[in-house]
Structure 1
Amino acid sequence: MTKLKLGIPKGSLEEATIALFKQAGWTISPRSRNYYPDVDDPELACALVRAQEMAPYVANGTLDLGLTGLDWIMETQAEVSQVCTLTYSKASNQRSRWVLLVREDSPIRTVADLKGCKVATELVGFTRRYLAERGVDASVEFSWGATEAKVVEGLVDAAVEITETGSTIRAHGLRIVEDMLYTETRLIANPRALDDPDKRAKIDQIALMLQAALAARHKVALKLNIRAALIDEIVALLPSLHAPTVSHLYDPEWLAVETIVDVEAVRTLIPRLRAAGAEGILEYELRKMI
């Protein structure tokens, strides 16, 4: 088959994306001053592309597959197929969002108050459409960076900027007027690539393994020994996908129990298991879960 051309987002998502592919089974090795990393799969060819430019390259067939944010798909309005969502770029569980922000002392309280105002953002196309749909006539200009500072310094009346918790915005004396767009990383494909049976099979393989790697990050395996007489009490404590795995040890009075649990549950679950009589409790990380 012709190699599938895969776009890896260059910049803030690059390291996290390469780590995710490594966990999923592919080793991608960037080369100094080179935009074409090596990959240990003869059916793949990789290119480093800015997330902001990924969707157009996938849409025009330069790339068959790529990873970028929903925000940049909506900004460019590129005709791509969204294969799946991959939430892996942030340490917390909060989604990134684009917000309309102003100075704390600004009279602007709603989007409608932007009439005749100047707004700075990197997400120009989306912002213009967002305001037009609400009948707001405002000037929207592209910002090359330091967008929040332009609001603080009074260079613009408002800004549309990406945030996760909003703490930096508040620290600068700014106020969020409205959430405009929640965004997540999407695996996107060229529609014509999906029509090719060989490429479609490869895309499905990549999507499955990336999602399996991400699912495993939120779970751990627990293994423990328990006296057979206490098994009902232990099983009642254990969450699992279907039911815990229980097997006999050489000593007929003891059982081995294994299950999969949420990472966040372990800190409270292990003390409860220990108090219920469990011994030899082991926790280990998973690499993939399907």
Structure 2
Amino acid sequence: MRIALPKGRLLDGVIKALQSVGVEFHQLNPRNYRPECNWPNFSAKMIKPKAVCQGIAMGNFDLGFCGLDLITEAGYEMAVPILNLGLNPVKLVVAVPPCFTNIVINPPSRPIVIATEYSNIASRWAYARNLAHVIYYTGGSTEVFPPEDADMVFDCVESERTMKANNLIIIDRIMDSATWVVVNKLAWERGDQDLHNLVTALKDATED
């Protein structure tokens, strides 16, 4: 079974969750992207969380781990979120500087500029409110863009402190996110035993 492990801040929690069900990876270090597993029929790669969904949807992996926010943003039919591990909880929010708190009710005559890494989610939100808009893809540090370079941000936060520190006010909460187990739809539907057994074990562990 091919597993996509997320690089970065999600990795430690995922590794501990796997260890709790007897799946251990060795040679975990920033320079080794192919850690060895104590289960001989498991192979893994460490990739960025944003690449996990696409890799699973393409059939490169049977199972992986990433945030529900990234799964929702990607929208791949073949990458199915199957289990919430409850790790790394965050909120995807909409925030604006104080001068734009009424921007949804009284939008400017020009398109509003939305700074975000969540282009699809942000566009759906704006279209649902009949807001003409332009997406400014940030690639990170989104909260620094308003008010000079953007009117609002869509970003994930653990708490409101980051937004307050950058003089931003949250005006909408889009979704709660955490680390989920994601599976390839075809692998799941054909009943791959290793895949189903691992998901079941992780589910039992989260319920203990």
TM-score, scaled relative to structure 2: 0.90
Structure 1 residue 179, shift from structure 2 partner: 0.8
Residue type at the aligned position of 1:202: D
Whether the 8 Å contact between 1:122 and 1:161 is mirrored in structure 2 is yes
Matches within 5 A, 1:87-236: 87-89=86-88, 95-104=89-98, 106-109=99-102, 111-114=104-107, 116-151=111-146, 154-197=148-191, 199=192, 201-215=193-207
Q: Distance in 1 between matches of 2:155 and 2:4?
A: 25
Q: Which runs of 5+ in 2 are unaligned?
A: none
Name the CA shift for 1:19/1:155 in 2 (closer, same or farther; >3 Å).
same
What SS does structure 1 have at the residue aligned with 2:86?
Answer: coil
Pairwise CA RMSD of aligned residues? 1.8
Whether the 8 Å contact between 2:112 and 2:131 is mirrored in structure 1 is no
Instruction: Work out whether 1:22 is the aligned partner of 2:14.
Output: no
Name the CA shift for 1:32/1:181 in 2 (closer, same or farther; >3 Å).
closer
What SS does structure 1 have at the residue aligned with 2:13?
Answer: helix
Residue type at the aligned position of 2:22: G
Name the CA shift for 1:112/1:39 in 2 (closer, same or farther; >3 Å).
farther
Matched residue, 1:241:
none
Name the CA shift for 1:160/1:35 in 2 (closer, same or farther; >3 Å).
same
Name the CA shift for 1:160/1:32 in 2 (closer, same or farther; >3 Å).
closer
TM-score, scaled relative to structure 1: 0.66
Q: Distance in 2 between matches of 1:166 and 1:101?
A: 10
Structure 1 residue 101, shift from structure 2 partner: 0.8
Matches within 5 A, 1:49-60: 49-60=47-58
Name the CA shift for 1:87/1:114 in 2 (closer, same or farther; >3 Å).
farther
Whether the 8 Å contact between 2:10 and 2:179 is mirrored in structure 1 is no
Q: Distance in 1 between matches of 2:104 and 2:41?
A: 49
Whether the 8 Å contact between 1:117 and 1:138 is mirrored in structure 2 is yes
What SS does structure 2 have at the residue aligned with 1:86?
Answer: strand
Structure 1 residue 118, shift from structure 2 partner: 0.9
Residue type at the aligned position of 1:24: V
Q: Distance in 1 between matches of 2:107 and 2:156?
A: 19
Q: Describe the superposition over 1:254-279 as per-residue Cα deviations: whole angstroms up to 9, x where unpaired.
A: xxxxxxxxxxxxxxxxxxxxxxxxxx
Count residues with an aligned counterpart: 204
Name the CA shift for 1:12/1:31 in 2 (closer, same or farther; >3 Å).
closer
Structure 1 residue 171, shift from structure 2 partner: 2.5
Q: Which runs of 5+ in 1 are unaligned?
A: 90-94, 216-288
Instruction: Work out whether 1:61 is the aligned partner of 2:59.
Output: yes
Q: Distance in 2 between matches of 1:86 and 1:176?
A: 26
Whether the 8 Å contact between 1:75 and 1:125 is mirrored in structure 2 is yes
Structure 1 residue 177, shift from structure 2 partner: 1.0
Structure 1 residue 52, shift from structure 2 partner: 1.1
What SS does structure 1 have at the residue aligned with 2:52?
Answer: helix
Name the CA shift for 1:39/1:175 in 2 (closer, same or farther; >3 Å).
same
Matches within 5 A, 1:278-289: 289=208
Q: Larger Cα Rg: Structure 1 or Structure 2?
A: 1
Instruction: Work out whether 1:47 is the aligned partner of 2:45.
Output: yes
Q: Distance in 2 between matches of 1:113 and 1:52?
A: 34
Residue type at the aligned position of 1:146: S
